């Protein structure tokens, strides 16, 4: 996604908190609409948003593979790109948790980068939790005449405590009905490189998740991580399901004009 227009700042803008949007690789390459939806939600919440062009991957694939040296090099680039903002926000629990929970441990005590990483990590937030917990947003305007079910992504839930926040904002949409699936907090089987290393196990897990989703009878599946969404959407499509799959930011921002992930759903 391209950086929103910058440079035309007013005095009112100067009073707004500045947010650097960490777009994430999967959003940038596969689902830019999530990035634009994130910008809309943040601006509606009263933030001034920029998307630093120097950002790259958060380093999670390297980190999960045990490549600490390359992860540290990536972290340095990310930190340098975002140090000037009041907050760093990502529409992803997994990328957010990598930057918030793991960056400081990449550097030894006494290393100047350790202190920089700690300052950086302190201002990193997942998108929906930032809106509710930091900006105090209790609802969004809009209508959704569909029933939805929500999948709690592993990193967002277990490392960042993201669970009640997306449901609270979804409940504020007129017409929306949330139908909880069985084991909503259980992994979908994606797990980053896990699904590549252990495809059979991954497929068994996502098959169980697919049944839990379809058993709800919901029209739409939502989550806050593109990796999980692409994994579940792919399985649902292969099995002929008409469940529509979207990132929660798209729905909260009212930006659902384009086809669902993997082209599923009734549209």
pLDDT at 6: 45
Residue ranges per domain, the chain?
A: 11-133, 138-263
- Neighbouring C-beta atoms of residue 177, cutoff 10 Å: 15
- Residues 151, 248: Cα–Cα separation, whole Å: 10
Q: Is 91 helix (H, G, I), strand (E, B) or coil?
A: coil
The CATH architecture one would assign to domain 11-133 is: 3-Layer(aba) Sandwich (3.40)
Structure token digits, residue 57: 């991957």
Q: How many CA atoms lie within 13 A of 226 on its CB side?
A: 24
- CATH code of the region 138-263: 3.40.50
Q: Is 159 exposed, middle or buried (0-12, 13-18, 19+ CB in 10 A)?
A: middle
pLDDT at 266: 56
pLDDT at 91: 98
Tens digits of pLDDT across the chain (267 residues): 554 444 455 555 668 999 999 999 999 999 999 999 999 999 999 999 999 998 999 999 999 899 999 999 999 999 999 999 999 999 999 999 999 999 999 999 999 999 999 999 999 999 999 999 999 999 999 999 999 999 999 999 999 999 999 999 999 999 999 999 999 999 999 887 787 788 899 999 999 999 999 999 999 999 999 999 999 999 999 999 999 999 999 999 999 999 999 986 654
Buried residues in 111-128 as b, exposed as e (16+ CB within 10 A) = eebbebbeebbebbbbbb
> Is the fold of 11-133 the same as that of 138-263?
yes
- Look up the pTM and report it: 0.91
pLDDT at 263: 87
- Give the CA angle between residues 146, 246, 85 to the nearest 5°: 125
């Amino acid at each position: 996604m391209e950086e929103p227009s910058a440079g035309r700042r007013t005095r009112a803008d100067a009073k707004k908190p500045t947010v650097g949007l960490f777009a994430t690789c999967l959003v940038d390459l596969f689902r830019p609409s999530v990035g634009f939806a994130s910008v809309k939600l943040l601006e509606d919440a009263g933030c001034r948003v920029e998307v630093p062009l120097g950002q790259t991957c958060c380093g999670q694939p390297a980190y999960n593979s045990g490549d600490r040296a390359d992860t540290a090099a990536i972290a340095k680039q990310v930190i340098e790109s975002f140090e000037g903002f009041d907050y760093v926000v990502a529409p992803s629990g997994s990328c957010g948790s990598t930057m918030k929970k793991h960056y400081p441990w990449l550097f030894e005590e006494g290393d100047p980068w350790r202190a920089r990483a700690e300052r950086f990590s302190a201002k990193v937030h997942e998108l929906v939790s930032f809106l509710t917990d930091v900006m105090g947003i209790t609802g969004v305007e809009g209508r959704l005449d569909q029933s939805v079910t929500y999948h709690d992504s592993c990193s967002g839930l277990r490392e960042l405590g993201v669970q009640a926040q997306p449901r609270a904002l979804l409940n504020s949409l007129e017409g929306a009905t949330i139908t909880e699936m069985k084991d909503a907090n259980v992994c979908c089987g994606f797990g980053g490189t896990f699904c590549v290393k252990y495809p059979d196990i991954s497929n068994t897990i996502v098959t169980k998740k697919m049944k839990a989703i379809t058993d709800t009878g919901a029209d739409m599946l939502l989550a806050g991580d593109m990796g999980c969404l692409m994994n579940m959407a792919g399985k649902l499509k292969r099995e002929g399901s008409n469940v529509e799959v979207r990132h929660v930011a798209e729905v909260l921002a009212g930006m659902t004009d384009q086809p669902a992930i993997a082209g599923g759903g009734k549209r």
